Every structure is written in C-alpha cells, then in structure tokens.
Amino acid sequence: MANHSEGPSSSIRNRIETLVELLLVFLPVIALVRAAGPWVGDDPMRGFGIAWMANGYMLAAIWTGIKLRKRTWAEMGLTFSVGSGKDALRSIGQSLMVLVIGIMAWLAGPMLLPHLVEIQEGADFSKYDYLRDNLGALVLTLAGVYFISSFAEEVIYRGFLITRLAELTGPSKYNRIIAVLLSSAGFGLIHYTWGTMGMIQTGIFGLAMGICYFLLKKRLWALILAHAYMDTLLLVNLYLAGS
C-alpha cells in the first residue's frame, strides 16, 4: 500500500500518480462515447453495448492502477471475503437504509426544482420503451444493468473516484466534500441521455450515495445492493408502464 506520510515529495508524487490514474481511467471512455455517438444514435442496444465496453474498460484500468501502485480494493471499501451471517444481515439492513435515502434524493429533483428553475419536463426514459410489457427484455436488461450500473457505477464513481479525488485535493477538512460533489456532478453528466431532469436526478442520487459512502465507513457493498434495488424499481416501473 502506498505510504502517504513519507514527506512532501512523496505527497506530490502520489498526487501526480493519482491524477494520471484518473486521466487514464476516464479520458479514453470520454473519447469512446464521443466517437461512438453517431453510430449509437437512438438504438438502446448499441448504447448498452458502449456502456458495457466503457465500464468494463474502467474497471480493468482501475484494477491495473491498483496493481501498479500497490494499492488495494479495500481502500475503496470493496472486499470479496465472505463474512458471517451477521455481517450479511448488517449489509442488507444498511443497503435498505441507503435505498430509502436514495429514493428520497431521486424524488427531490422533480418535486423541488420546477419551483426554482424553469425545468418542467421529467427524466427522459424513452430509450427504455422496449421494456413495456416485455418480460424477457426486462429480465435481460436487469441482468446487464446489475453489472453496468449497480456494481460498476458504485465501484467507479463512489469507491474509486471519491477516494482518488479526496487524495488529489490533499489533507484538507473539505477534501471529502469536494470529492463527493465532483463525483456526483460526473455521475449526473454520464446520464445525459436521460435529459436535463434525468441528469439532475442522478446527480442528486449520486450525492446521497456519496454521503452514505462515508457515513457507512466506505462499506461499498451496501451501496451496490441499494443501487441494484433502485435499478430494479425503476425498470420494473417502466415495464409496467405498458400494462
């Protein structure tokens, strides 16, 4: 594990390495999404394909950075050891608490913002119209979304991005606040296909998840489970919209 207390030169070197790591994780994905935009068009399946590629690359890049810098997944709150039944129940209980907070955050956008700014339209979920009254499509989409969104997004935008941004901003009492705000803004922006309200809602949701990340002492699996519950509720609701 990298030692962050070796002195000023070590601190500067660590920040440079962190900045390079962040750029190598995100810049290729930004280039990929921009280049693939005309090809994806309005085709949701192509969009999912690009999302799979992007998140798969980012997870691989994060893993590579961890190995090269002799870091660990545990620093981000991600562990793969099987705990006791009590630990599992605690994680499930925490995930349900995070779900409630996430739902409240998600609903805050459309409830409050129209009174503050001129945004009347809701989030745009038209790319998911194929789910309506199509049980097979719902099951397949959920299977993919559990990896693309529930797992990968929490690892990337909470575990990795918040941790690295906090390191990059240095030992300031505001470093966690800055990291959570920046990661939430980025999380909202990646949902640009959901329209303005969709980006705002996911940004607020990301803010709530970032706060919970630190409140739960980086127990990332609780956030991953809560994100999975949220995705399930959202997609099932879109499926039922056709009934």
Q: How many CA atoms lie within 13 A of 115 on its CB side?
A: 5
The whole-number pLDDT of residue 116 equals 60
Report field, pTM of the whole predicted structure over 0.85: yes
Q: What is the DSSP string of the chain?
A: ---TTS-HHHHHHHHHHHHHHHHHHHHHHHHHHHHHHHHHTT-HHHHHHHHHHHHHHHHHHHHHHHHHTT--GGGGT-------HHHHHHHHHHHHHHHHHHHHHHHHHHHHGGGTSS-------GGGGGGTT-HHHHHHHHHHHIIIIIIHHIIIIIIIHHHHHHHHT-S-TTHHHHHHHHHHHHHHHTTGGGHHHHHHHHHHHHHHHHHHHHHTTS-HHHHHHHHHHHHHHHHHHHHHTT-
The whole-number pLDDT of residue 115 equals 59
The tens-digit pLDDT sequence of the chain (243 residues) is 444 445 678 888 899 999 999 999 999 999 999 999 999 988 888 999 999 999 999 999 999 999 999 999 999 999 988 777 888 899 999 999 999 999 999 998 778 766 566 665 778 898 999 999 999 999 999 999 999 899 999 999 999 999 999 999 877 778 999 999 999 999 999 999 999 889 999 999 999 999 999 999 999 999 999 999 999 999 999 999 866
The two three-digit tokens of residue 143, written as one number: 């299977």
CB 134 within 8 A of CB 239: yes
Q: What is the C-alpha to C-alpha distance for residues 17 and 146, in angstroms, rounded to an integer?
A: 31
CB 184 within 8 A of CB 212: no
The whole-number pLDDT of residue 242 equals 67
Sequence ranges of the domains in the chain = 8-240
CB 200 within 8 A of CB 113: yes
Please give the torsion angle defined by the CA atoms of residues 140, 141, 144 and 145, in that order, rounded to the nearest 10 degrees.
-150
